[in-house]
Amino acid sequence: MQIILPSKISTILTALFFICSSIFFGIISLGFPAGGELFPLFLFGSIIFLSFLLILEILLKNNVQKPIAIKLDFFTWKPFFVSIAVIIHVIFIFILGYFTSSFLFLVGCSILIGLRDARAIGITAVILFPLMYAFFEIFLKASLPSGILF
Amino acid sequence: MDVNALDYLGNIFEITNILAMLLGVTVGLIIGAIPGLSPPMAIALMIPVSFQFPPETALILLVSCFAAGIYGGSFSAILLRAPGTSASAASAIEGYEMTRRGNAIQAIRISTFASVVGGIISGIVLLVLAPSLAKVALLFGPAEYFLVAILGLTAIASVSFGSVFKGLLSGALGLLISTIGIDQYSGFPRFTFDFIGFEAGLGILPAIIGLFAFAQALELSEGDARNTISGVQKLSWRIWPNLAEIFSLRWSFIRGWTVGLVMGIIPAAGGSVAQWIAYAWEIRRAKPGDQFGKGEPKGLAATEGSNNGVTGTSLIPMFVLGIPGGISAAVIFGALMIHGLQPGLRLFKNSPEIIYTIMWGFIAANVIMGFFAIFLARIMAYLTVIPRGLIAPLIMIFSVIGTYAGTNNVYDVWIMIGFGVLGYVMMKTNFSTAGLLLGLILGPIAENGLRDLLIISFNNPISYILTRPISIALVASILFIVYISFKPQPWQEK
């Protein structure tokens, strides 16, 4: 299953989003004191102007662009799931510790992306984490979050 | 050349100075290559080490670290589209495309030649012309800073593949994001929505890592996890410079070096702006058949030439006037003071043996960097034969640790992830992540320049600009770039 959005429509929708957001944030910026509103207002004005030009460009263009197809399957949404995994990884850094969380992320994310090579993942972990520890903890003295484990 | 300068050439062959160069180059290359860890950080790390040495050796260590750090950033930009420094962001465009086409070693070869020779030329300019060129920096006031920022932004129009308007919109969005945080003039929070993590503003570091490294890792997570970035399993050993290749790219190198040398003298502009101007210039000079945006060696030669061409000349305002031209120069400035040296023309008069030894050391460090790079490049290039299913999580792990170690602030990690998702969406919708980053870098320069210009000109900036020859030249350059951006490009014609 997939949703097909013609390129012209998607560009016009994007430009309209920019125009509406600029008006909304432009009104907010009117309340900034001591000339703090000048530069943002100049930029909002520029964004609105450029968005209109973008709409004009897309309407006047003759060449047919490829429509945007949004497939509703796991492979299309893989980057989304990977992003969620990174968010969980960052949260767990402060609970489990940087190295434990990173190890779990390396294993979990590789499997999520589709790599089923335990040897490659294992060798990478064995080489990577001691080097990272030596570099960040000993050389840079970065004191990475340790959590309840490591 | 000043006869005194040649007298001090022999000093760099002292064993402690050679060791300092080796240490500086090694640390600079490694730290520069890791996204999130920047040359200023490498220099700052070396300051405590530098206490063990006399002032000239200490400063040789730091300037070596600086030159190698800028070059090191290009490795990750070319191989992973994860620029180690903001000065390497433009190289990620053509460099990474070359890697994807299986030409990683050629890309590194071009980068190494451009960087090493650019650094050496920049060092020679620093040595020979420092006092006279520093006077140029003094001619720049608020009007010129504002116009330099606008000039940099017009480069976006030229480096936007597809719609020029989308490129300009990306740049405007970057400028807008740069206004988030406490306004330094009034102390009023702008667009923070009471979120404490926004108060200090959205840093350039999380933006670079997010927009390039993290977004790229998200893209790598698509498709078959067993594939490699380049699709090749074996690498060439031809890492030494190839004369025919250098000859064919000679004008691209020269244009890149020229832009770097000039932009280095302007305080606050530096490699971050120079690379885009060099890239835009290169695109404008393109011929039918050139493949900009798809791995064109000319584009890489120009960007790599410019970002190392900047290194030496960016030290000129600092050494001669005591005005650091960028963050790295500011850290070196601090180190000079710690070692009891007062930057300024008196430094050249009272301690020529120190200042000229440092400058010769900078040139020699660039030569050493070239030899180191040849060996390091071979090892680093192996990153391109690691399966995507493994390299994507690795980039993400380094993105998180690089951001955290760079700022020690967890809010910046969240901001980096936000930029990463934004960068991924922009890549998919043909908006320019490079434009957004350039806007973010130039935002504070443009806003401060505009506000100072309004004050200094009594709210009549146009009349004020028209009285200043450098401003008029900059306005003419801006209008020229805008004009040619909308002209059909010969290399895109079918």
Question: CA B154 to CA B280: how far, in whole Å?
Answer: 9
Which residues, listed in sequence order, are joined to residue A4 by a DSSP beta bridge? Answer: A69
Pairing of strands B181-182, B189-190: antiparallel
Band of residue B88 on the pLDDT scale cut at 50, 70, 90? confident
Residue pLDDT, tens place only, B323-359 = 666 667 777 777 777 777 777 667 777 778 888 888 8
pLDDT digits (tens, 9 = 90+) for B109-148: 888 888 889 889 988 888 887 767 666 666 777 787 788 7
Burial annotation B37-63 (CB, 10 A radius, 16+ → b, else e): bbbbbbbbbbbebbeebebbbbbbbbb
The answer for B 329-388 residues in CB contact with A (under 8 A) is 387-388
Closest to B210 in 3D by CA, of B435, B30, B395: B395
User: Would the CB atoms of A79 and B224 count as touching at under 8 Å?
Assistant: no
Q: Name the amino acid, one letter, at B82.
A: A
Are B31 and B37 within 8 A, CB to CB?
A: yes
Among A14-18, A135-139, B10-14, B369-373, where is mean pLDDT lowest? A135-139
ipTM of the complex as predicted:
0.88
Measure the CA–CA gap between B94 and B295, rounded to whole angstroms.
4
Cβ contact A144–B410 (<8 Å) = no
B449 to chain A: closest CA residue: A39
The rounded distance, in Å, linking the Cα atoms of B170 and B342 is 42
Q: How confident is the model at residue B494 (pLDDT cuts 50, 70, 90)?
A: very low
Question: Mean pLDDT throughout B27-35?
Answer: 77
**B429/A14 Cβ within 8 A:** yes
Candidates B224, B389, B405; nearest CB to A142: B405
Q: The tokens of B256 are what?
A: 């890149």
Instruction: For chain B, give the percent of residues with pLDDT over 90.
Output: 2
DSSP letter at B199 equals T
Query: Where in B267-362 does DSSP place strands (E)?
Result: none
Residues from chain A that touch B413, judged by Cβ atoms under 8 A, are 90
By the 8 A CB rule, do B66 and B332 touch?
Answer: yes
Give me A112's structure tokens.
């999520």
For residue A5, give every residue at least 6 positions away whose Cβ sits within 8 Å of its Cβ, in sequence order, or none.
Answer: A67, A68, A69, A70
**Angstroms from B173 CA to nearest CA on chain A:** 8
**Mapping DSSP to helix (H, G, I), strand (E, B) and coil, where does residue B132 land?**
helix
Handedness of CA B306, B312, B315, B320 (dihedral sign): negative
Number of Cβ pairs < 8 A linking chain A and chain B: 152
In chain A, which residues have pLDDT < 70?
A: 1-3, 5, 62-72, 74, 149
CA distance B261 to B307: 9
Residue whose tokens read 């959205």: B202
The two structure tokens encoding residue B201: 């503003």
Asked if B77 and B89 touch (Cβ cutoff 8 Å), the reply is: yes
CA distance A72 to A70: 6
What is the three-class DSSP state of B268?
coil
